């Protein structure tokens, strides 16, 4: 018996065509159904530009004082 991931990763008929570029998606109008139909079911990645800025971590990682408090004596390399 195969795991579901292994089963769905197979392409016995060679139907999956990969693109050279990753699609840029608009997270404001993306629905779960649209995401599944256009990307998941076709094995196509997509990039949600700017979405990370909505997360609370984005503000925290911009704050050098916060990073020093959390890291203590550890060295953090970040860009």
Instruction: Encode pLDDT of 13-48 as tens digits.
Output: 666 666 678 899 999 999 999 999 999 988 888 999
Structural domain includes residue 26: yes
Structural domain includes residue 35: yes
Which structural domain, as residue segments, surrounds residue 32? 17-71
Exposure of 15 in the CB half-sphere (CA atoms within 13 A): 9
Structural domain includes residue 3: no
Average pLDDT of the chain is: 83
Structural domain includes residue 11: no
Total number of domains in the chain: 1
Structural domain includes residue 10: no
Structural domain includes residue 34: yes
Q: Residue 27's closest CA among 64, 1, 52, 60?
A: 52
């Amino acid at each position: 018996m195969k795991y579901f991931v292994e089963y769905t990763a197979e392409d016995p008929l060679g139907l999956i065509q990969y693109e050279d570029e990753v699609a840029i998606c608009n997270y404001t109008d993306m629905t779960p159904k649209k995401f599944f139909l256009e990307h998941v079911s076709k094995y196509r990645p997509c990039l949600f530009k700017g979405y990370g800025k909505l997360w609370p971590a984005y503000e925290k990682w911009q704050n050098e004082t916060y990073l020093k408090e959390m890291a203590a004596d550890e060295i953090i390399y970040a860009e």
